[in-house]
Amino acid sequence: MSDGASRPVPGPGILEIATYVPGKSKGPAGVRVHKLSSNETPLGPSPAAIKAYGGLSGRLELYPDGSAAALRTALGERYGLNADHIVCGAGSDELLSLIAQAYLGPGDEAVFTRHGFLVYEIAIRTNGAVPVVAEETDHRADVDNILACVTDKTKIVFLANPNNPTGTFVPIEEVRRLHQNLPSSTVLVIDAAYAEYVRRNDYEAGIELVSSADNVIMTRTFSKVFGLAALRLGWAYAPAQIADVLNRIRGPFNVNAAAIAAGTAALGDRAHLEATIEHNDIWLERVSAALRDLGLQVTPSVGNFILVNFPDEVGRRAVDADAFLIERGLILRRLENYHLPNALRMTIGSEEANKALISALAEFLKNG
């Protein structure tokens, strides 16, 4: 019987993890809410995905296909990939954690950039490794700064491309330069969660680099452009030996049947995908221009969100803007935990939400 003098102790690094806080979703009672805090698509999922999801209601007693074969085949056909090199997961978050579990241990180091996705540090610390932060330049990952952080202890470099929450990206030639200067034993993880939104000739999601290297992994998600965030579905494309490692340590049924069915159907609906991207193309430009006209600084974004910075000249703080907007049902993302205390991240929403946000910020700044 325990005398209370001791208790179970978690592994090294666990208690240093800051709990991940998702974007807010609620506003004042009785106020119409526009949730612009989590980069969800305003157009929702494909009708084909919704139909496929509903079709499983009579088979909930059955385990899903543990290999997610139908989904991997559909992904292979859609992107021209070998399905055997695709690993599916419960969101790309799970895959990032599996990669860290496979390749990090106590004493190892992993590098990510100053404003990179918070899950990287969680995954690193969970496995007892040391997180190393590379400074960014103008809110963009800086390859030279990343390389300066690499040592013989560096086992993983995490690169969000495009990056969340800044919306910036690293051109493919710079990504190649980063890879060429990494040790062959260091894994380069390219987190391309927002790849479908990018309309730049100098951008690549990472498929070609994975296909030609032994130490590069690309992760993707169905949570953003495909609108399946509720089902938690992601995938990784990796060299054969890395895919084998991830398949050995993932849960045997880590992707549920509804996610497999809906994801497979979503891949086949090109029209809905293009409509979603077109909506974002239009409103990303309009909202960015409107906020700049108000005197705010908008970091150029290639994703479905924008980083809104409140410069000293406007005389108002992001925290005050956030409180003002919440009262009007406009929920944005605070960014103190991303080391951006005077900025808010705004998802590109519906036409109604976008116009309401512009109008509310104009009122906030006028009355400052």
Per-residue pLDDT band for 20 (boundaries 50, 70, 90) equals: low
**In this predicted structure, which of 26-40, 201-215, 247-261 has the lowest mean pLDDT?**
26-40
Antiparallel, parallel or unpaired: β 305-309 and 297-299: antiparallel
Buried b (16+ CB within 10 A) or exposed e, 33-48: bbbbbbbbbbbebbeb
Residue 253 backbone dihedrals phi, psi, to 5 degrees? -130, 55
Higher pLDDT, 299 or 17: 299
Q: Is 299 helix (H, G, I), strand (E, B) or coil?
A: strand
Average pLDDT over residues 180-195: 98
Q: Is the pLDDT reported for residue 6 higher than 90?
A: no
Please tell me the predicted confidence (pLDDT) of residue 268.
97
* pTM listed for this prediction: 0.93
Q: How many CB atoms lie within 10 A of CB 127?
A: 23
Q: What 3-state DSSP class applies to 110?
A: strand
Torsion of CA 41, 227, 247, 241, to 10 degrees: -50
Best CA proximity match to 233, nearest among 246, 221, 225, 243: 221
Q: pLDDT tens for residues 127-186? A: 999 999 999 999 999 999 999 999 999 999 999 999 999 999 999 999 999 999 999 999
Query: Please, which residues bridge with residue 289 across strands?
Result: none
Reported as a single tens digit per residue, the pLDDT across 39-90 is 999 999 999 999 999 999 999 999 999 999 999 999 999 999 999 999 999 9
pLDDT > 70 in the chain, percent = 97
Position 266 pLDDT exceeds 80: yes
Domains in the chain, start-ordered, CATH in brackets?
A: 24-44+271-366 (3.90.1150.10), 47-268 (3.40.640.10)
